Amino acid sequence: MRSLIDILDLSVEEIDDLIATACDIIDNPDKYAEACKRKKLATLFFEPSTRTRLSFEAAMLELGGSVIGFSAANNSSAAKGESVADTVKTISCYADIIAMRHPKEGAALVAANNASIPVINAGDGGHCHPTQTLADLFTIYREKGRLSDLTVGFCGDLKFGRTVHSLINALSRYAGIHIVLISPEELKLPSYVKKDVLQKNGIPYTQTTDLEGALPELDILYMTRVQRERFFNEEDYLRLKDSYILDLKKLEKAKSDLCVMHPLPRVNEISVAVDDDPRACYFKQVLGGKYMRMALILKLLKEASV
């Protein structure tokens, strides 16, 4: 049974096909309005979410399917001690496909190994968030017309940010990518990502603490929230949370066609005044995420039926 746990579970060609399907859905929504008639998506969210859960639900509804699920662990029998394995074996009796978010790294893989229907990882701890990456790749493609030959800056919490790890993995397969890592010392990209992804694939990268210094060379700036829920110590979080705040003054130093991205939710990392700048792409990411999730649901259900 094909599931999506890590963005590398999809080949570059499959990602191209998903982007093409998402573009076709935008152009021809009626063609897809009953594509998942009588199919059910289960959204199993053991951790909070606004965009991912509701975009999955909107995606399935726009495909003519229906949705069941829970939005918090304490609304499910996990609160009574039920395992992820037993939960997904149960849900496999009720639904055709699962989207699951869980605070523990590896939980999505456990789910996929125990479910008899496709499982989509909607975020597992600090590990990865492949459907956010699909939204990110779609946004870059729509804004830049390509996924290669780009200088991409990642700024903020590069240690705990699972969206950062997933997107770096995805971009490492395209030609001409240069990565700029902008973070405080304490929130640097983990060594294993640098070694196993960037160095292994020969991706040139630089590390800095200086956002303003890095801005002029960037084609993409991927801002991130400091992940309070992954900190052991509240004092450290409070000290680091406002390390970087992108505002219009800083953007004066950036390219006129810079694409400013953020997986959201935003706390203080991007001033609200930036939202009206044509370079702000983060709400386009939100919308693109719905179309890419529609394309992914279609693909996995089609593969499960053969």
| Nearest CA among 265, 281, 285, 256 for reference residue 224 | 265
Is residue 134 within 8 Å of 122, Cβ to Cβ?
no
156 makes contact with ligand CP (CB under 6 A): no
Q: Does 43 bind ligand CP (CB under 6 A)?
A: no
- Is 129 catalytic? The answer is yes
When binding is defined by CB under 6 A, the residue of 21, 92, 132, 151 that contacts ligand CP is 132
- In the bound state with ligand CP, the residue whose beta carbon lies nearer, of 203 and 231, is 231
Active site residue 200: no
Residue 226 contacts ligand CP per CB under 6 A: no
Q: Is 51 an annotated catalytic residue?
A: yes
User: In the set 11, 28, 50, 208, which binds ligand CP (CB under 6 A)?
Assistant: 50
Report if residue 51 touches ligand CP, rule: CB under 6 A: yes
Stretch that binds ligand CP, among 10-18, 28-36, 69-77, 258-266 (CB under 6 A): 258-266
Kindly indicate which of the ranges 25-33, 80-88, 237-245, 257-265 contains the residues binding ligand CP, using the contact rule CB under 6 A. Answer: 257-265
Residues 6+ away with beta carbon under 8 Å from 28: none
- Nearer CB in complex with ligand CP: 135/147: 135
116 binds ligand CP (CB under 6 A): no
CB 215 within 8 A of CB 185: no
| Structural tokens at position 204 | 């040139």
Residue type, 207: Q
One of 130, 161, 263, 288 touching ligand CP (CB under 6 A): 263
Question: Which stretches of the chain are DSSP H helices?
Answer: 12-27, 51-62, 84-91, 107-114, 130-144, 162-171, 191-193, 211-214, 234-240, 248-251, 282-304
Binding status of residue 227 toward ligand CP by CB under 6 A: no
CA dist., res. 264 & res. 119, Å (int): 23
52 catalytic residue (yes or no): yes
Q: Which is nearer to ligand CP, 57 or 96 (CB)?
A: 57
The verdict on whether 224 is a catalytic residue reads: no
Calculate helix-pair angle for 51-62, 130-144, nearest 10 degrees: 70
Q: Which of 3, 43, 52, 227 binds ligand CP (CB under 6 A)?
A: 52
CB of 288 to ligand CP, least distance (A): 12
DSSP output for 266-286: -SSSB-GGGGGSTTB-HHHHH
The correct pick among 196, 249, 265, 302 for binding ligand CP (CB under 6 A) is 265
**What's the rounded Cα separation, in Å, for the pair 115 and 286?**
28
SS3 helix, strand, coil % of the chain, rounded to 5? 45, 15, 35
Closest residue by Cα to residue 212 from 221, 200, 203: 221
Q: How far is the CB of 129 from ligand CP (least distance, A)?
A: 6
Active site residues: 51-52, 80, 101, 129
What residues line the site for ligand CP (CB under 6 A)? 49-52, 123, 132, 263-265
